[in-house]
Structure 1
Amino acid sequence: MFPSFASLFLVLAIFGSHCHQAPGKSATTRNYEVGSVYTYDYVLGLELNEPPAVSAKDSNGAGGTSGQVKPPSTVGYKVLTTVQVRPVWQNEPGGAILEITLSRPQLQIKSRKAPHPDGFRDHTSQLDSASLHPLYVYWKDGIIQKTYSVTNDDISFVNIKKGIANLLQIPTGTTSGTVDENTPMGQCKVTYESCDTRHVTKHLTGNCEQLAAAQKFPSSTHSSRVLGADVQSNITVRTILTREAVVVEESEATERHTVRTTAKQEVGATINTSQSFKLTGTTSSSDNIVTASSAEAAIKEIAKISGLQMTTDSLVSQYEKFPQCEGPNCKNYDTLIKSLDYESISTNKMASAFIQIVTKFRDASADEIEKILNANKKNLPALLDACAAAGTPSAHKAAMKVLDFEDDDFISNPERYLLGLSLSPTPAPEAIPDLFNLIKKKMKSSKLQETLVLSIAALVNTLRTNNRRTGSPALDKLIDVEVEDYIVKSLEDCTESSCQQMYLRALKNLKSKATLPKLFEIIQSSDPKTGVVAMKAVHAFPDPLIAVTFRPTLLKVVQQLGKKYDSSARTLALDILLRNKPTREEVLQILHLLKNHDSQHAEVTTFMWNRVQEFMETNSELAKFVNDIITEEGLQTYHHLAPKGLSTAFSRTFTSGPSGNTSFSNAIEMSSKILKRSSFDVYIKSSDDSLHLLSLGIFAGGLSSFASSNNEVAVDEESEDATAGMELTLMGVQLRPIVFFTGKGELMSLVWSGAGSERTSAIKGNVLLQDEKQVIPLYCGLVTDINIQGGLSFELAGQVQISLWYRTANSLVENKAALVLQSTIRVDTSFVKSRVDYTVAAEASLHFTSDINFSDGVLMCLKLTQPEFNIRQNIHKTERIPGSKHRLRKAKYKTTPVPGITYALNKKNSQLCGVMYKDEL
């Protein structure tokens, strides 16, 4: 009977209680003797499971459980074999070449038919007939310096033998303290503890540096930690040395890796492995002993004697790529593409199919993808989303071949592809030169030209943030310098405000610190509307980039000193100050401004005061400053604190849990009782990071005359044309604004035609919200492949109905989205494959309605509702043996209903809704 994981942990716990980090004297020589063969019994065990439950007190991913919960069922296997360690060269002090050979390996799998439930029993596999080549290691002073494997040997077997060789590592001279040590995981910090000269314990916690071969491992992650994954590792190795020869007599190793997605920490897996390595006997043999002058010469002689070609490598495990999906359950292109039809947008069916097609496209050639695109014109938009998300040169090349950027009458497909590129967490750098050439050609469509400019700025920012180097000096220069220089120069050459605003939006997507002085220059020198666009760009920059030197300018904009600023620029400047830890003096000046408000500026001061209160909820220092100043200045009166306008700003929580929370912020700035600007922002927050997921903005101007008497027209709108539109920012990427109308003529045409009264889709698409790829070589030599992808299928639609007869306006903005989060953790070998698939899926929508009645004054009622929906979680743990019918599959399903809710916005809105619908209550 082989020891269970629990018993191994118990042994280690008892053993560790008697050991300490004290200097331990070890033998000056620790060698396997030439002419001797050391035989060991070796057992490698692996078990995969979902991660343990996370309690509210333990949300950092370390793996706590709440209450006494029955441990979930696992999948796993054991490999049993006899290992022979034979020195074949020993011609330098402390150095030797060891030959490690496996014999009679046997696979055992978990089975209810075993002597104990869910125990292990023997099963046939390719291990039974495998060619068992030796692994040679250059062992110097107890450390493995190099490995030499037979060229074309099975990679899985080579990795297992490296895991065995790793157990032979104990440096001579000292057995206590922390050292850098090469292991199958990479170069790791290893802490040694010793009780005496025979008993040694190693501790590792992962975070190994990826060197040489490990750098070839494929990897990708989102620039925001919120959409990434966290791996917690713990490895303990207990070794007993023999009394006579001071070689390894027994070694027991356990390792545990817990993988969790940051945003939803119950998604992921745990990987548990154990190694048992016990000396069973020593015999004599003088076969194939070499006497070369050096280790390299010895290996050449061994290769000559054996007739085998050798490959030199480090101790780090090799990566072996296996198909992501194997077996009859894998869907082909035809089946998946059927789920991409127009009616399936924002459904789990489309989000899931999108993820699977992205995975297929990443392994496909450009010609193969191009044929698929040309053969499926009906579903081409969603396939273009997949090309953009794939992030490979082949997918980009195929997309560019089927797209026509010259047809100014049909720009929806090019814009759809550019949207996908902008939002891709791992875009292909090869897209930059193609987009740059198109920009310099100047598209016939001004809308497409702007989308190109915004997209290339977003791409450059993503590549810079990911520190993605291409290996091409010309392409790196384009990313690092040329695109930014082009955008800045184009901005300087603009002669019209619309041109300036386009390149300012591009700088918002670029987020380059070097452009901040230019943005502040434009804020202070341009017309008010262009200044607002520039301030929006600054508002989008990460807080660490906003230098202290810019704070006085921001405060001047808030106070409107030096020149007249648009009220939206002032409120945005206030936001930047409030989120960047304002000083007491800055807070004092802001409050002095707000207490001196008059009726003409009631809306902007009401908005600012609401914003201050909103930030006070999450910033205790700001709250203290404000409360102290209010008391000292005698401002705690209704005259000073009561809102004088309809503008408002507030935050609410969507969801909250151990992993973090999702919240929204809603800001509504009014002007003469008519909406001037509103923004709806959604944030995902974890314990140490946050992501601005969505910002939906509505802007309007020049409409005060529709609801106000002549003497009530806002100062900001005295000479402004009637206009309205929508701006959308997804994951920090500004999209091209959608303008509903410009001028009263277009407005009246829309009203009389009723063009907006039908539900109209403004934007839709599919993006990879999460795209995490990690390869973790394990201490035992096996390799874990981590793939976490979050597919988001979304649609933003709306409609508006205006009655000039009844003087009412009713609008609906509808956000529909489906999110499928798929986590696949695999530990595959050529002879057995084990994996844990964790899927979370949900379809949700959010409705924002506004009803306005301006027949007798202005009454406005805003409603934000979330219809009920379900969150489905599926866990599949599978194991199969290639060449065998064996396939073990364990499943768990869970559905969590989320009730519908209408959010309480604020007291003023509730009062207005009550007045507006008093007859219905």
Structure 2
Amino acid sequence: MNIILIIGALLSSGITFVGPSSVARGEYGEIKLFQSPATYSVESMVLLNDAGRQDKEVGYKIAGSLDVQAVWGIDSDFLLKFTLNSPKLLARGKLVTADYLPIKSIWDSYYKTEFYAHWKNGIITNAYLNPDEVTDVLNYKKSLISLFQLQIIDGEHNETDVSGNCDVLYDSISMQIIRKIKTKCKHPDTKDSSEGVTSRRLTRYTLSEKLDAIDEVHAEELHTAGYQELNAAIKARAWMRLRRDGVPRTTATKYPDFETAIAELPSNLKPVELPMLMTEDVLDNELSLEEAINDVVLDDEEEEAGGGGGGRARTAQAGLRALRALRNATQDHIAAILRAQSDARSLTAVCRVLGSAGSAHTHAGVSRELALSERDAPPPATHYLHALPLAHAPDESVVLDLVRLGTEARCGAVREAALLAAAASAARLANHAPHLSHTLRDALSKHLARCLDDECRALVARALGNLQRADTAELLLEQAERGGAAALHALQALQALPHEAIGPARQRRLAALAASMRPLEVRAAALDLFLVRAAPLPPPLVLARLSHELHVHAPAELRRLFWQRAHQLAEEHKPLADVLAMLAPEQRGWNALAISGTSSALVRPLGMFGVGGGRLESLQLTPGGVLRRGTVRLNVDGTPAPLLAIELWTRGLESLTGGVKSSEGGAEGGAEDEEEDMSGGLALTVGGARLPSVTLFDGQAQLLGHVWAGTGSTPTPALRALQPLGTRSAALPLLAAGTLHLHSHSAVALALDAQAQVSLWSRTALSELELRVGAASEARASLHLAGGTLRAHAQHAAEPRLRVAAHLDFYDRMALCVKVSTEDHVRRSNTTLHSELGSTQRKVRRERLLEVPQPGRTLALGPLNDAACNTLIA
């Protein structure tokens, strides 16, 4: 009872309990500001620098003094008069240790200027400035006024100041110190998103001991943009400091009421909005569209001449410059560039870049010049359509026209490429234009209902995979369960859907499909998909039943894939490891795991690969030592989808290699001893977008013709692609300065070459694949003022290489050696800073170069592969 009385007494006495990090303002009495005139010393600084450095920046200072007096006031409502005295621009020379010294500038003509602000309950309701003054001066005065916007009540608020409309948090650190944190600032005149820009805005107020004046204000802003993990990022820092150091020499006239005070304001002062006046960006050193396109064509010509082109950093850089130049290109301009190309190769190179742009004007120009709807559309038209799914932000009208081409184009290759491109482009716009994704889903569902053969159903399944909609999972799973040649394509499409698309019920159906009597490649794809999606939270009974079915009835190749994949996933997902440990001993013992065969599932890290850490995932289905289906995925951090996925499939090669055809790989419903027709194909997925498949050979005669003719015996281009990874632009109001323009761009140029050599006399085969990746990232920052210019440019470039070599010996028995390796390469970063300040445009340039060696590595693929390599390559 006594405790209750004590608590009640404390509550009724009004005592406030405050945490250690803040102090309640009410404990220290009423705060009354602007009770007497004050003069403040003013100092501000603006700096641009490499985000990873603390020195060698470029920037300037502005110093002066500020008189602040209330010409009218009552309670918490004041009309404040500001007088800015003797502002000076200070800069330093080329030496980083030099002092900041005054230089001649536009500030010299503003020796003494007055401006006013209406301050009510801590909020600036109106600012009165001369709108004819230079923009730099106006924005600086707005920054000064904004520093006096101070609400006394702690907590979260919403305010509008020089930064725009911001969420504001006030926190009282002590009796005299108040901290103000601004977040989520949005300027009313900016359309560019600040996504990709890290910002911090903090102001610290120090009040006088009597709480009747502001003694000191320190405001700071820090903005960072670019790619810090690649050493290609820019930071912009600005701060302002006001310190009270006296009183004005002259006392301002006081007025009896607010209306009289406003009426007595100088005639050149007008009410203006407090947000900063934003200025347009000035693009320096930008190439014209013709120059940028010529660079792309020249790089392609060097490749043809044997210069090692394709997949180089300079290829990606040329592509980025061309994409920037294409932003404002007109339809007629695009058409003229296409007509100017003298041969098919240069036209193809240009079409790849135009497709990566994805703009409406570009598409209109290409459609007109290349006749995409006609039967005789030239081959470069398909290269344009193959590049469209890689566009970072395709125009909505382009996607709709691709849907039309997917049904109305008279060329079959154009129809297929357009349909796949439309689905992938709609997936990229899913967040900004969800209606496009809905339209594609409905159109593809109707298209599937009209299909009369497996080829048509397989195309729709691939398009649904590119669309990546969770609500298409049931349609695709039914297609997989239906069987036929489209079943495998449906499972591949399911693999591209979001994780939530395949819940427990669909996981059970995938497990049943993996245990069914279907072609081995279908069962393997269903098994892999089940394990990947069930690994975070595996259903114990379903997994146990599947393991038992595989242990009793499944061929050895499928059991090998099951255990290899399960052990890999168990290292990342403990629930899966726990369920595997509960399986019956006869299913997980050493005798059950020592399975013969050559199929494999591998995951290997590649280290730093271009724009991020790389990881290689491989799933090889090789019954009897003969490849039936192999997939290789290259995942790179910083990319939303696998950078590249390669799928190679063959049928009926057992007779050529001298092996006996296994019933495990037979066609569905076929007799056990029925021979399959020889065939093979290649399918590529770039940036999550599946491209049209390529048939390598169809029939034994065509295959032997390739062998005898030596087709592909030298490195042959299989893929050339430019994938933009992101384009971000932002215009931010920078305290005490002006409009800070930030741009960051990143792209990779992919070049995939393959070669194969077959000797029927010695019964050996050698196939090699080389993937060259040219990665380019850059960040730019610029601040263009009447008193000078600050610019920063950071670049990163890397050229990693991945090689895969397969040696096959089928003289008396099958022996296969696979070597996967990456080459040594160097990651290069270059940051350049420029400043041109004052009336004489004093120039300073600073540069930082950084090279980071990346050692190559040979990936371990298991002891059996190592033993085969020791024998075949000894």
Q: TM-score, normalised by structure 2?
A: 0.87
Percentage of matched positions with identical amino acids: 21
1:646 and 2:610 matched: no
Q: Secondary structure at the match of 1:306?
A: coil
RMSD: 3.5
Match of 1:714 among 642, 664, 670: 664
Q: Deviations over 1:4-61 (max 9, x none)?
A: xxxxxxxxxxxxx99733344577674658xx975433211122322348xxxxxxxx
Match of 1:437 among 404, 417, 429: 404
Matching residue of 1:803: 759
Superposition map of 1:512-591 within 5 A = 512-527=469-484, 529-560=485-516, 566-591=522-547
Farther-moved stretch of structure 1 (357-366 vs 797-806)? 357-366
Seen in structure 2, the aligned counterparts of structure 1 residues 481 and 333 have a Cα distance that, compared at 3 Å, is closer
TM-superposed deviation, 1:374: 3.8
Superposition map of 1:829-868 within 5 A = 829-868=785-824
1:209 and 2:209 matched: no
1:346 and 2:330 matched: no
Q: Deviations over 1:454-482 (max 9, x none)?
A: 11111111111xx225xxxxxx74x1532
1:701 aligned partner, one-letter code: R
Matching residue of 1:160: 140
1:677 and 2:656 matched: no
- Report if aligned partners of 2:647, 2:684 keep a CA contact under 8 Å in 1: yes
2:383 aligned partner, one-letter code: R
Seen in structure 2, the aligned counterparts of structure 1 residues 93 and 317 have a Cα distance that, compared at 3 Å, is same
- Report if aligned partners of 1:348, 1:820 keep a CA contact under 8 Å in 2: yes
1:320 and 2:279 matched: yes
Distance in 2 (CA, whole Å) between partners of 1:412 and 1:828 is 46
- Report if aligned partners of 2:399, 2:425 keep a CA contact under 8 Å in 1: yes
Distance in 2 (CA, whole Å) between partners of 1:146 and 1:832 is 29
2:193 aligned partner, one-letter code: S
Matching residue of 2:167: 188
Q: Secondary structure at the match of 1:351?
A: helix
Match of 1:79 among 56, 62, 70: 62
Matching residue of 2:121: 141
Matching residue of 1:763: 719
Q: Deviations over 1:832-885 (max 9, x none)?
A: 322332211122322212222222121111121223322222121222237644
2:267 aligned partner, one-letter code: S
Q: Secondary structure at the match of 1:252?
A: strand
Matching residue of 1:463: 429
1:620 aligned partner, one-letter code: K
TM-superposed deviation, 1:322: 1.7
Matching residue of 1:66: none
- Report if aligned partners of 1:339, 1:349 keep a CA contact under 8 Å in 2: no
Distance in 2 (CA, whole Å) between partners of 1:590 and 1:191 is 59
Seen in structure 2, the aligned counterparts of structure 1 residues 430 and 43 have a Cα distance that, compared at 3 Å, is farther
Matching residue of 1:423: 390
Matching residue of 1:56: none
Matching residue of 2:88: 106
- Report if aligned partners of 2:406, 2:414 keep a CA contact under 8 Å in 1: no
Superposition map of 1:729-748 within 5 A = 729-748=685-704
Matching residue of 1:629: 582
Distance in 2 (CA, whole Å) between partners of 1:135 and 1:741 is 80
Matching residue of 1:489: 446
Distance in 1 (CA, whole Å) between partners of 2:20 and 2:499 is 50
1:272 and 2:251 matched: no
Seen in structure 2, the aligned counterparts of structure 1 residues 907 and 242 have a Cα distance that, compared at 3 Å, is same
- Report if aligned partners of 2:495, 2:529 keep a CA contact under 8 Å in 1: yes
Q: Secondary structure at the match of 2:803?
A: strand
Matching residue of 1:788: 744
- Report if aligned partners of 2:611, 2:775 keep a CA contact under 8 Å in 1: no
- Report if aligned partners of 2:719, 2:753 keep a CA contact under 8 Å in 1: yes
- Report if aligned partners of 1:531, 1:569 keep a CA contact under 8 Å in 2: no
Q: Secondary structure at the match of 2:394?
A: coil
Distance in 1 (CA, whole Å) between partners of 2:830 and 2:519 is 59
Seen in structure 2, the aligned counterparts of structure 1 residues 439 and 86 have a Cα distance that, compared at 3 Å, is farther
Q: Secondary structure at the match of 1:617?
A: helix
2:414 aligned partner, one-letter code: L
- Report if aligned partners of 1:219, 1:773 keep a CA contact under 8 Å in 2: yes
Seen in structure 2, the aligned counterparts of structure 1 residues 515 and 658 have a Cα distance that, compared at 3 Å, is closer
1:604 aligned partner, one-letter code: L
Matching residue of 1:355: 320
- Report if aligned partners of 1:773, 1:786 keep a CA contact under 8 Å in 2: yes
TM-superposed deviation, 1:534: 0.6
Q: Deviations over 1:365-422 (max 9, x none)?
A: 4444544444455644444444444454444444444433145555442233333321
Matching residue of 1:40: 40
Matching residue of 1:773: 729
Q: Secondary structure at the match of 1:421?
A: helix
2:830 aligned partner, one-letter code: N
Q: TM-score, normalised by structure 1?
A: 0.82
Distance in 1 (CA, whole Å) between partners of 2:368 and 2:264 is 54
Matching residue of 2:206: 239
Distance in 2 (CA, whole Å) between partners of 1:727 and 1:220 is 38
- Report if aligned partners of 1:51, 1:270 keep a CA contact under 8 Å in 2: yes
- Report if aligned partners of 1:674, 1:703 keep a CA contact under 8 Å in 2: yes
TM-superposed deviation, 1:157: 3.5
Contiguous gaps of at least 5 residues in structure 2: 1-18, 304-308
- Report if aligned partners of 1:388, 1:427 keep a CA contact under 8 Å in 2: no
Matching residue of 1:65: none
- Report if aligned partners of 1:41, 1:82 keep a CA contact under 8 Å in 2: yes
Match of 2:644 among 670, 673, 694: 694
TM-superposed deviation, 1:740: 0.9
Match of 2:681 among 722, 725, 737: 725
TM-superposed deviation, 1:636: 5.2
- Report if aligned partners of 2:833, 2:847 keep a CA contact under 8 Å in 1: yes
Matching residue of 1:472: none
Match of 1:219 among 181, 185, 193: 193
Seen in structure 2, the aligned counterparts of structure 1 residues 849 and 108 have a Cα distance that, compared at 3 Å, is same
Distance in 2 (CA, whole Å) between partners of 1:559 and 1:374 is 57
Distance in 1 (CA, whole Å) between partners of 2:85 and 2:806 is 76
Q: Secondary structure at the match of 2:497?
A: coil
Match of 1:749 among 687, 701, 705: 705
Matching residue of 1:21: 23
Distance in 2 (CA, whole Å) between partners of 1:525 and 1:364 is 48
1:231 aligned partner, one-letter code: T
Seen in structure 2, the aligned counterparts of structure 1 residues 561 and 676 have a Cα distance that, compared at 3 Å, is closer
Superposition map of 1:370-449 within 5 A = 370-376=335-341, 379-390=346-357, 392-406=359-373, 408=375, 411-441=378-408, 443-449=409-415
1:193 aligned partner, one-letter code: S
- Report if aligned partners of 2:644, 2:687 keep a CA contact under 8 Å in 1: yes
Seen in structure 2, the aligned counterparts of structure 1 residues 914 and 19 have a Cα distance that, compared at 3 Å, is closer
Distance in 2 (CA, whole Å) between partners of 1:209 and 1:757 is 58
Distance in 2 (CA, whole Å) between partners of 1:373 and 1:24 is 72
TM-superposed deviation, 1:357: 2.5
TM-superposed deviation, 1:713: 4.6
